[in-house]
Amino acid sequence: MESLTRFLEKSQVLLNSSKEEYRFNFGELSQHNTPSKIWGGRESLHGTDYRLLLYSWFVESVCDIEKISENTNKARVWSWVNEGLANIVPDKPDQKLVNLLTEEIYNQFSINAKRARGGWPIDLKKELIAKEVKPKCWICKREFCDEAIFNFTTRGKKQELNPFPIVDFMFPRGVNSQDLRIEIEHVIPFSKKASDPHCIANLALSCGWCNNAKSNHMSIYTTSRNGKYFNHPALGPRSIPNRYWVVKLLMLTNECEVCKRRPNIKGNELRFSLKNPKGVANINNLKVVCGKCDDIKGDRLVEATSYKDKIFSKRSNFI
């Protein structure tokens, strides 16, 4: 706990710095090791997503993809990358690195320039549905209803998808009928994958709620920190998590973080609770639990019809 205390003390010193002290205190905090307890058990998540963000900033600083046009050939991109690296990295650019970045940037542009998607073939839809005995969303692991499967695999008239009368206030899937439809989802988002994003290995079935929440995000740091609150009828105002943080955690785990078991019964699917009920539902304070380990089981479900009316924005962050 001593390292955590020192880290908090140095952070507070910086936040309370005078103009004369700020630069020194800034440097001091940058040199301080981040204690393991500050990560909330999410070291791998933070480490990977932060590195992806750094990767993105580095590539963008080497070559601005927006300056590439349909008339730009790969040789021109290569020269831009070579010049960009010379300006960013003091050492002489390594040709392997130049070639690597050129391929990635040029392929990324080429794919995004052909983004028009059109409809998915029925045969592909049926192939994806047939992969499982009980088709379900690859992210939240909720089974698709018969009506959703029918609508997904037919060219004819669609059946009505009825929204749920009650929903989980921490994971409000089912407030809208589109939450329950089946969508073909790119595991690595279409706009981020430099090789063929439509390859079968990059496609999975997702419910509308998870697909919409995932969008084209790859990092928890590219979404807003300004969370929401739900005015719970029994619990009062309760902090609820950013939707992308929810799907990110579900993408990375198949088991309850409390009992370490993988739920295999319908209705016992993974859901979210707070490690500390007095804290905010940020990424470090969320825990993934099964139905048996759910500590808010009796208060989790609320009326869907009034759910949106009871949502309000978080006023501020600590910094």
pLDDT digits (tens, 9 = 90+) for 145-184: 999 999 999 988 999 999 999 999 999 999 999 999 999 9
Residue 7 parent element (H or E): helix 2-15
Structure token pair of residue 78: 């290569």
Structure token pair of residue 71: 């008339």
Q: Report yes or no: 111 and 197 within 8 Å, Cβ to Cβ.
A: yes
**Considering the chain, what percentage of its residues have pLDDT values greater than 70?**
95
Residues 6+ apart with CB under 8 A from 310: 230, 231, 232, 302
Amino acid at 215: S
Q: Report yes or no: 247 and 241 within 8 Å, Cβ to Cβ.
A: no
Residue 157: per-residue pLDDT? 92
**Whole-angstrom Cα distance, residue 248 to residue 217?**
9
Helix spans in 16-94 (H): 22-30, 43-62, 74-88
Q: What pLDDT digit, counting tens, does each position of 173-214 carry?
A: 999 999 999 999 988 776 666 566 667 888 999 999 999 999
Q: Report yes or no: 163 and 174 within 8 Å, Cβ to Cβ.
A: yes
**Whole-angstrom Cα distance, residue 216 to residue 201?**
17
| pLDDT over 80 at 144, yes or no | yes
**What mean pLDDT, rounded, does the chain reach?**
91
**Whole-angstrom Cα distance, residue 109 to residue 89?**
24
More confident residue, 29 or 193: 29
**Whole-angstrom Cα distance, residue 62 to residue 97?**
12
Structure token pair of residue 276: 């500390």
Q: How confident is the model at residue 246 (pLDDT cuts 50, 70, 90)?
A: very high
- Please give the distance of CA 313 from its chain centroid, rounded to a whole number: 20
What number of other Cβ atoms are within 10 A of residue 241's Cβ?
Answer: 20
Q: Report yes or no: 108 and 218 within 8 Å, Cβ to Cβ.
A: no
| pLDDT over 60 at 139, yes or no | yes
Structure token pair of residue 216: 């084209």
First-to-last C-alpha distance (Å) of the chain: 23
| pLDDT over 60 at 71, yes or no | yes
Q: At what angle do helices 43-62 and 74-88 cross, to 10 degrees?
A: 110
